[in-house]
Every structure is written in C-alpha cells, then in structure tokens.
Chains A and B, each alone.
Chain A
Amino acid sequence: MDKKERIYKTLSQIVGDEKWVSNSPVDCWAYSYDMTYKRPQMPNYVVLPKTPEEIQSILRLANAEKMPVVPFTAGTNIGGLCVPEQGGILMDLKRMDEIIEINEEVRFAVIEPGVSQAQFAQELFKRGYRFGWPVGPPSASVLACAIHHGIGGMSGRYGLNSNHITGMEVVRPTGEILMCGSPAIRRDSWQSCMPLPRFDGLFTGTLGTTGVVTKLGVFIPPVPDYVHIGTFAAENLTDMEMFMRTFSKYEYADDLTAISWWLSQVPIPYPYVEKPKGAPEWTGYCTLYAFTEKELENKVDVFNKVIKDLGKKGNTIKATDVPEESKKGRTQLPSQIVGSTKNYCKMGGGGIAWPGTFTPSNRWVAVYNLWKEIYTKKAKIALSPSTRVTMYRGCHYGMLRLMTPFPRDRPEEEANAAWCIREAAKVLIDAGGIPYKPPTDFAREINKRADPGWIDLICDIKDMLDPNGIMNPGKWGVR
C-alpha cells in the first residue's frame, strides 16, 4: 500500500467512515481558494472529524507523517487563512456543530467550531441573548471568528469577539487535549479565562498554527429592550474621527462606525467613480441600546449634544435622517445580504479582500489619505477607496479597513486589486496599524517590521507546541 493510500485508510479508520475522508482532486479543489485573490493551493486530503478524540488521532498521524494540517470551519475568511500553503490534511470541522450549553444564569454559551452565526443567532434570540454578529455570512463560524479577534456589532461596548471568550478546549498539535480558563479547573464551569494565566492567548489570533480549538465558551449579553440608531455625516474623516473619538468616551454605543462615500454605495462602485459634489465623504451610525426608556433618552441626548457642541467649534459633523430600511442593516445581523458580500463585491465581480486593521484613531486620516492616493492615483485601474472605521471598546483605537472588490475572471484586474491591497497594507503597518487575520503577504510585511524579540518568542512557542511544524504552516511567515 503506498503512502497516499495508507494515510487515506488511516484517516478513514479514525473518523469511522470513508464518507468523511477524501483525497479526490475534485473535493480538494473545493478547499483550494476563497473570496480573495490568493492563488489556489490544494490540500492532499480532506477529513471531517466529529470529536476531539478523532482530532487527536488525526494530529498524531500528521506528526508521524510530518504532514501539514489546516483547520477549516466555513471557508469564509477574507485572507486565505484556510488555503493550504503546503498541502496536507485539511481538517473540515463542520460536523462539530453542537451548541453544547447556553447558560442563561451566568450568561455564557459553549459551542463547537462548526456552529454558524445563523445557528447561534437563532438559539440565542429564543432566550433573549445576543452576540457580536459580524458582517460576515450567516454560514460563518462563530468560534473561528472569535478566536481570530473578529469584530461584531457590539465591539464598541463589549470589545472584540475574542474579548467574549470565557474558556476553551484545545487539541494541541501533538494531540494532547487541554482546557483553558475556568473549565481547566472544573470542566463544567465556563465563566471566565481569568484570573488564570491567559493561556487561551496561545490559541487566539494565531491563525490555526498552534492547535485546534474544539470548544469555546463565550459571554452572551442579553438583548436590551430599547434601541436607537443614530446616523450622522461629515465632510471629511478628520471631523468624523473627532466626533467618534469624542462620543466614544461615553461608551454608549454598541457599534460606532463610519464609512466613506464609496462604501456607502450598494454595491461598491467598480471601478472607481468620482464622488458627486456636495455629497458628504463620510457617513456613520451608532447603535444605542438601553434597558430602560430613560437610559435610552440619556444616550440619545448625549449623542445629539456631542454633535451640537462640535458643530459650534466648526466641525462639519451633522446628525442625518436616513430611511428606516437602511437603518435595519445596522442591527439586523447576521445578514444574508451584508454577509454574502452583496453590498461589497457584487459590482466588482465576486472577489473581495481588504487590508482590515486595528489602528489608533488619530492615524486614520493619514492612512486614509495614503490609501486614496494608492487606489485612485497609483493603481493601473483606479479603485474605490471604500473605507470603514469602527471604534472598539476602550475607544482609543478601532478598525480601519479598505474593502476592495474585484472580478475573479479577469486576472489583470484581480492583480491590480491585489497590488493595491498589498500597498495599502504596507503604508498602514508603517503608520502603526496592524492587519487582523493577516494573509501571508501581510504577515511577511508585519514580520519585517516586528521586534526581533517578539519574533523569537513566536518561534519558540511554535516550536514548543508544534515541534514538527504541522499546524497550518506558512501562515505566520516565521515557521
């Protein structure tokens, strides 16, 4: 029996049925690329485990064979995260789709990797709870989003989705199972990662290179009774940022976001078009939730006061009135329309990628101006500078991202978009921003600029956890 056949047979034995394993090029092709411009790269095998024990066995096999393993949930990442750099075994976790517990007393839930945003939203809503739904597809994995510092509709109030993590079960690259956070001490107690050392950090933001998270505890806040969606506009990002920084100090908004004119178009104009004269370059919204009418009134009053006070100082920020229908898109998440990237890539033609970053708000303007230069002046085909900024909890920094659609079937135009995105990432990193869920080309740029001690530590940790370098190799660009 040759190696290919032997591994196939062993994988089949591990998961109990050949149905859950494939080494067919037809099946492997479907795991070779995603929404982005990343070139297709196929795994050698796809396997669909159902239990952590099966994952243990797969990882032990991979170590014995020195074969890469790529964890995969829904394949909706915007950075080629699950596209295998070096082939190997693609571990599709969609069969692990159980919501294990929703604890309404202590307000946490425990989920498996295959639980989708849609599935989780349905179950939480029944019980009056919610989560930080991203503007991703309803099919996307809640767990994968959270462990990769995903952003949701509550990031202004509760922080990133990774800030919701209360505990995790992980299968280490060498096959051992461990618990992080409170369940490490008592298996059914998922209230918090603290006060223990934050070992969950070893598996958070690490792009599937340090282990396979098989259970995740997350905090679930209740759905408030009252909501107001405030909308506003400014002539430039300088004024918009000043408003957002000022208003965010109150920590009243669950979501405080502004978008450039090009992103406010549905879909993003492709290629670039001039903004009509007189149209504000930036529009924004904030979602103000409250448990009492009085609380909501206070929040709305403060929102209006901040706008008024800044206006007196010459800031162009103004409250705006937008149709109720368009407001729904701000709170009605997960959304098929937003999540399908319809609003973003429909005109461009199916492809989308972006430099999505965490950047201090006082550098947004400088970076945005550089991005506009790249996209509208330096690009071979001018592209829309469709930019989004969102404040995170703590309010001193936030998301700055440049959503870039492109046609999948026109290689020159795809290459043009890819060049723009890479150049935008470089100027962003130089300005102090950090791309999240970075594609490999971004990771290389990050590493070029990184503190050597930080790189050494990553290498040491990686070597300790994954001595054979099997976990999603190449993604961090250091091993």
Chain B
Amino acid sequence: MADNFKDLKWYSQFFRKCSKCGTCKSAYSYGPPPTNASICPQGDYFKLDSYYGSRAKSFLGQAILENRVDLTDPAVQEDMQKAVFSCTVCGGCQTQCQLDYKPWIIDYIEEMRHNLVNRGIGPTKAEKIYQDKVIKDHNPYGETHSSRFNWLKDVRDLKTDGNTVYFAGCTASYRRTEIAKSTASVLTKLGEDWGVMGENEYCCGSPLLRAGLREEPQKLAEHNVDYLNDHGFKTIVTACAGCYKVLAKEYEKWWGLKLKAKVLHTAEYLEEKMKKGELKLSNVPATVTYHDPCHMGRHMNHYEVDMDGKKQWKGSYIQIDKPGLYETPRNVLKAIPGIQFKEMYRNRDNSYCCGAGGGIKASYPDVALETAKTRIKEAEGLDSVQKMVTPCPFCVTNLGDASRALGSKVEVVDLIQLVDQALKK
C-alpha cells in the first residue's frame, strides 16, 4: 500500500523557512502581564543550541540533507542520533513558531528520524529493543501477547463484540492496568454495550512511528483497522493519548486507512455523556491540577495551510482551524463535585511535556525523569494541590516516577480513575 509520508527533501521547503529567530525556545506571551516559561524539555536539559526547539531541528535537517557533517563517521552518527532522538517531539516549539515551518514541525522531526533509520543511524538501541518486542509480541514491553487482557479477568469475562470497543493500548494493558480497569468499570457503570479486541488488539504503532519507523507500524495499523472495520463497532474508545492520536489521525493520514467507527478518547466519550445528562458524578474531595498530554493537545491541532497559494502564497501557514483536546478533559474534571481545580502555569498549547514522549523514556531515561520532575515541581508550586490528573497512561507513568523520585506529595492519577471513583454504581 502506498503511503503519504514525505521525505526530508520535501520538508526542506518548510524547515528552510525557519528564520533561526529562536522564538521556539520558550513559551512567551505579551499578556499583559507578560508570561514566559521554558517549553523545550530537550533544550532545557542539554542547553546546547543543537538541542533547542524547532530551530535546532532546522539546523540538523539541513546538515543531514546537505551533508554538512560527515554522517559516515561513527562519532558523528552517535552525536546526530542523540540530537535527533533525544527530543520528546512534544510540539512545544511548534506552538511558539510563527512561520510557515510551524504546521510541519512534528512530522518533519519524525521524518528526520526516519531518514536516519534508513542510514542505519537509528533507531536508538532501546527503541530497537522495543521494536523487536512489538514485532514479536505486539507490545513494546516484552510481555506475552496472550497476557494482554489479563487485567480484564478482575473485571469481567472477555467480550469481543458490542457497540463500543475499548482499545486499551499496551501501557494500560501491561503497566497501568488500574487505568484499564477504571475504563472498563466506567463503561460498565454507564451501561455501555462494550467489548475489547482480545487477542486481535495489537500495539497501535505509536512507539514505532515516533522512532521514525514506517513499515512495522503500517502492518500494525492494517491489522487493527481491518479487525475494527470487520466487526461492526460504532465507537472506538481509548484512554490512551498516544493510541488516540494514532487511531483518530495517523492511520488515515499516513496510510489512508479509514476507520468506520468513531474514535473517541475517554475524555470525549465522557463529555458526550455529560452533555446528555448521563454522567451522574458523586463527590470526590480533592484539590487537583491537570496535565495536557502532548498527543491529545498540541498534536491534535489541525493546521490550515495554503498549499497552492490561493489565499496567501504557496505553503503559507494560515491558522489552527481545529484545536486539540484542551477543554474537553477539563470540563469532565471540573464536573466532578468536590474537585478544586487549579491550573498550572504552563497549560494547553503551552503545556510542558511530561518527558516521556518521542521514545525518550526508553532511550534517554534521565532526560525523561528530569523533565517530569520539573512538571511535578510546577504542580507543587500550586497551593495545596494533591493530585495531578492526566488522561494518558504514559504521562501517568513518567510523572508518577518523578513524583516518587522527588518524594512529592502530589499523586499522579488518570482522569478515568477519578471519574470511576465519582461514578455512582
């Protein structure tokens, strides 16, 4: 099957439009009052300009494309891999960029990774290991495929039909089973006719796509889409931000694989129920803040681009015509009685990445942990915040690791866990 990926040469028409202004290095707004905060986890950690924001990536892309550095030298290969693969690909820089480069930054960084993969300069060792695990067992954790739905045994019998299918994803299935169980519990409490894919649920492909791989995630995509389309589900629900981005956007974008069913993140699913008056929530007394997962927020922004120059000029960025999911999860969270909500300084488009994205939780764990610690400290700066809520198992994992490493009192929980707690049986 043909794919819609573009090569580095194609992206050069946009990344060469980076003016090197460095606006991508921090999140700034005039206000008033003026606000400024760091936004690039990779740059904040490494500090060198070769690591900071989308400006750095423009430098690197040109170096690769025009052979400005000797990529046959093993030492240069190692440095280039580190510069390109230690980015969380969070899109914080993309939010700041004002130029025609903006809409393409995320896809371009991943294409740069793909280019390096083709040269044998990627993926990282850690990514290679989980790539092999995904190919063998359809999950990046090295767990057996047959144990994917072990968590469900505590909840109910395996059911693989219904109006709605819960796409649990690898992290909730194997590492954050409390999130999977809460999702199952919520669907059941709301009277949903739901099932799972059982042994037919494969990794969504996100970890491989993020590492610059193409063929392997395509196979996963084709498998998942074929199954989901063949089984007549009306709605696909997932509680994972990473799976959500892939299912709702990337299968079709990259491979033209259209899902017949509507794809909803659990936050969207719950907001729909809320609007229909079907979400009866009881008191959960807690002071909480909310962390925006990149894959659900910034990465789901849709950009209007004037590709043929009819409105402005060829390739000009016009606007974000459809924003990512920022308000939906907040609306659900704020609907829980007893919840005292406090916004972190960096939020929505300017949210600071949890540090786990782009494969760096596995490849550069120190960067991932330090980034998450920064985020936990930000929450600690809010008076009396007890919980950091986020609708992403991967964010929960990394932020939870940081909270424990810091000995913080801030507990990291998934949105679905709080809703489960608040839902009357």
Q: Measuring CB to CB, which residues of chain A are less than 8 angstroms from any residue of chain B?
A: 19-20, 22, 24-27, 29-31, 33-35, 40, 46, 48, 74-76, 92, 94-95, 116, 118-119, 121-122, 125-126, 137-140, 332-337, 339-342, 345-347, 349-352, 407-409
Contact = CB atoms under 8 A, between A and B. Distances in A.
A409 B75 CA distance: 28
The 4 lowest CB-CB distance pairs between A and B, nearest first, are: A30-B50, A139-B22, A118-B36, A118-B28
A75 B313 contact: no
B49 A30 contact: yes
A374 B13 CA distance: 28
A461 B36 CA distance: 40
A325 to B, nearest CB: 13
Contacts of B17: 346, 349-350, 407-408
Contacts of A92: 47-49
25 contacts: A19-B47, A20-B47, A25-B76, A25-B79, A26-B76, A26-B79, A26-B80, A27-B49, A27-B50, A30-B48, A30-B49, A34-B20, A46-B49, A92-B48, A122-B35, A137-B22, A137-B23, A138-B36, A140-B22, A332-B30, A336-B23, A336-B28, A342-B99, A345-B19, A347-B316
A25 B30 contact: no
Contact of A26 (B63, B98, B100): B63
B69 interface: yes
B407 to A, nearest CB: 25
A30 B99 CA distance: 19
B25 A139 contact: yes
B21 A139 contact: yes
Nearest to B65: A409
B56 A409 contact: no
Contact of B49 (A24, A31, A335, A408): A31
B34 A352 contact: no
Contacts of A31: 49-50
B26 A46 contact: no
Given A30-B50, A336-B29, A407-B16, 8 more contacts: A35-B21, A125-B33, A138-B23, A139-B23, A334-B28, A340-B21, A345-B19, A347-B316
Interface string B1-40: 0000000000011001111111101101111111110000
B97 interface: yes
Contacts of B97: 340
A137 B19 CA distance: 11
A118 B34 contact: yes
A46 B50 CA distance: 10
Contacts of A26: 50, 60, 63, 69, 76, 79-80, 83
Which of A35, A340, A341 has the most chain B CB atoms closer than 10 A to its own CB?
A340
Which of A118, A339, A345 has the most chain B CB atoms closer than 10 A to its own CB?
A118
A19 B46 contact: yes
Given A92-B48, A116-B26, A332-B30, A408 B96 contact: no
Contacts of B34: 118, 121-122, 125, 334
B19 A352 contact: yes
B366 to A, nearest CB: 11
A335 B30 CA distance: 6
Contacts of B48: 22, 27, 30, 46, 48, 92
B21 A40 contact: no
B68 interface: yes
A139 B17 CA distance: 18
B326 interface: no
A228 B261 CA distance: 56
Interface in B76-110: 76, 79-80, 83, 96-101
Contacts of A337: 98
Contacts of B30: 332-336
B68 A29 contact: yes
Contacts of A121: 34, 36
Contact of B16 (A24, A48, A138, A409): A409
A346 to B, nearest CB: 6
Contacts of A350: 16-20, 99, 101
Nearest to A95: B47
B70 interface: yes
B13 to A, nearest CB: 7
Contacts of B26: 116, 118-119, 138-139
B21 A76 contact: yes
Which of B23, B60, B68, B79 has the most chain A CB atoms closer than 10 A to its own CB?
B23
B324 to A, nearest CB: 19
A321 B12 CA distance: 41
B118 to A, nearest CB: 18
B59 interface: yes
B79 A137 contact: no
Contacts of B68: 29, 40
Given A333-B30, A339-B23, A340-B97, A408 B16 contact: yes
A399 to B, nearest CB: 20
B92 to A, nearest CB: 13
A379 to B, nearest CB: 20
A391 to B, nearest CB: 24
A318 B195 CA distance: 72
Contacts of B96: 336
A119 B36 contact: yes
A19 B101 CA distance: 30
Contacts of A20: 47
B127 to A, nearest CB: 19
B22 A29 contact: no
Nearest to B13: A409
Nearest to B77: A26
Contact of A29 (B31, B35, B50): B50
B362 to A, nearest CB: 21
Interface string B325-346: 0000000000000000000000
B28 A340 contact: no
B56 A30 contact: yes
Interface in B190-221: none
Contacts of A46: 48-49
A410 B413 CA distance: 51
A347 B101 CA distance: 12
A29 B63 contact: yes
B99 A340 contact: yes
A140 B26 CA distance: 11
Given A26-B60, A26-B76, A30-B60, A75 B100 contact: no
B7 to A, nearest CB: 15
B263 to A, nearest CB: 33
Contacts of A407: 16-17
Contacts of A345: 19, 99
A351 B75 CA distance: 31
Given A25-B69, A26-B83, A122-B34, A340 B76 contact: no
